[in-house]
Structure formats: C-alpha cells, structure tokens
Chain A
Amino acid sequence: MKFTRLRFVAAVLIGAPFPMVTPFAMAHARPKVMVPAADSTVAAPTSISVTFTESVEGKFSSLTVTNEQGKKINTVASSQLANDPKTLTLALPPLAPGAYLVQWISVAADGHRMEGEYRFTVK
C-alpha cells in the first residue's frame, strides 16, 4: 500500500509539468494564412499559397482555382514548399478581372483529411 502511494506521488510529480510546457497541435490542418487573403480584391496574382495550421501530406493535399463559370483555371498541380511542410503553393496563368474560388484539401500528419474553399477577386 505504501509502495502504491509512493508510485502515485512519483507519477504525479513526473506527469504534472507536461501540460504546462507543450504547445497545442490541432491534428487537423486548417488554412491559417492565405495569399491572396480570403474575400480580398487584388491585382492578378501569378501564384497563390495557403499555409495550414500544421504540416500536411503534400501528395494528398491540394489547391485548385476555378473562375466564376466553374472552369478550372490552374494548369499545373499545387506543390508543397520544400522548406515549409505547412504551405502549399499553386502557380497560376494570367488571370482576367473577376471572382475566383480556391478549393483546398489538407491531409494532416495524423491522416485526417479536411477540405474547404474561399474566394478572392482580381480587379
């Protein structure tokens, strides 16, 4: 009984500091920084990028841009930045003025997939 209590105290002492020193991880990757920003009006960009809340699996995560008619605009696939596994970029052909829809898919390191969309306008 005494030994059990001793082990309990040891476990508390070893375990107690952990919640205080570890930063949060979200386990599901959501967009954190979007360039151009969501709902913004900008000059025609040559590329777009989305930085997620955590690292994504590049092969199974993607960005796609469509115009107001729903036609896919990008001619190449998005790619993951070599030095930043949280960021996907997508090169774009010259864009005409109008509204564009960015559809994103993210697969986080834990294998969970999320998807969503946002818009920007080219002036």
Chain B
Amino acid sequence: MSLDEVRANLQSETRDMRLEHYEHVLSTNDIAYQYILQSEPDTFLAVLAEEQAGGRGRRGRKWYSPPGTGLLMSTAVSFVSHVAVRFEQWPLLAALATREAIADFVDVPVQIKWPNDVMIGGKKVCGILTELGSYQHGRYLIIGFGVNVSTDPADLPEDLQDRATSILSATGQFCDRNELAAAIINQMQRVRIDCYDGKYFADRYDEWVMHCNTPGQYVRVQQGKDLFEGVAERIDERGTLHIITGDGKRHQIVSGEIVESYPGPNFPTEGAKRT
C-alpha cells in the first residue's frame, strides 16, 4: 500500500490527517490506540497494515487476512466534548460508511448484516471492531476495519469459507486498496462531521435500512448468555434489532450478534446454505 496514494484520494478536509502504515502489526487497533494517547484533542487518524498477527474480532476472536490481500485499517476519533455523542451507534454508522465505500467499486449489491458486518452475496467481506475508552483529553473511539479485498476464500480457515468471501471473489472486480482506504476514511469523516452537527443514526436510518439484509431472515442471536431464535422483524431508529421468537414474543436485541441466519421462515434441517 502507499500512503501517498491513500492521501491523494482523501477529501481536502482530511488530506492532512495523520496516516501511518506498517508491514506487520499485532493489531491496527492497538497501534491506533498508542497514537491517540499522544494526540491532541479532536483528532482523526488512521493506521494501516499489510499483515496482522493478532487481528481481533469480537470477544477476542481472530481476524484472518493473508498478507497483502486485505485492507487492515483502524481509524481513531477523539472527542473533547462527548456531550450527546451516541457512541453505540458508531459501529452501525461505520458499517454504512464501509458499505458506501465498497459499493462505489462494484456492480453488485453490498449489504449490511446487523449490526455492523458488510456482506456481498450473503457472505461477509468486512468485519468491524469498535472500542471506546478514555484518555487525558476525553473519550476516544477506535474503529478497526478488516476488508477482504482480494483474499482467496480457499485461504481462509475452513469453518469460515461458507460465511466469508472477498470483494474480488464475490464480484470478479478488483478494488484498489489505497482508494478503498481513502473512500472509507472519507465516509468516516462524514460520520464524524454529522456527529458534531448533532446528527445520529436516526438521520441516516432510511439509507441504513435500505441496505440491511437482516429483516425477514430467520436468525439465531446470542445476547450475553441468552440465545434467541426467530424471525428478524426490523431494526428500529436506535439500531435495536427486533426479533419474534416461535412463541410469538418480540425481543429487542441491543447487544451481541447474529450467530446464524437463513433467508427463510425457519432453519433448514441440513445441507442448505447458511450465513
């Protein structure tokens, strides 16, 4: 990757932002954290890497990306004043940002799986891990993106092969990683400015829902220790997932994730494709 190329594709308002590139890191989120600790208030920076030895997914899961085939990037945003910042909406908005960025490079639908996976053809092409913490100037968010750009799905662990893919594999279209990095940063800058302007997830709700493939699916959802199985009814303007279980009860899911989903009224008994 080339930081000059990334920078050349940034909007003017972010062209001078801090960009760092590494060949090998444990985790871009961890490096971004180190930079944000030293940063001035109201910073926006990005760290990119070719390879992550300890790339993290949710709850310590590994994020696999063969070197040079993925976009491994963490953006960090700090806030002097976090009055009315709805931090829990940022993962949803980061997913929309990534969706918008990827959609500009391909001719097929790019969708969001609640709350923040980006999917093509029902398979995951981007995972996002968002961490919120405090430092001397206030609060910071670190949003880590792992996009499978040209990864051969055969190089992914076997248990991921039917759930994950890459942009190239799913579309046959090549996506320049420098341009994609810049496109995601530009979209995140929009999220950041919206936040300062008092705009929330609800302000981009229609756009988000239009691209979300979750409603209507039969899902199994893990929320803490609880497992729910039922039809995903909708996502509301706070980003909460509503599901209706077999007993007719509606459950509002604010945490956790969809561990399994199927585009039908129930799970197939065997052999069918699940995402």
Q: Do A and B bind each other?
A: no
Q: Which residues of B contact A (CB under 8 A)?
A: none
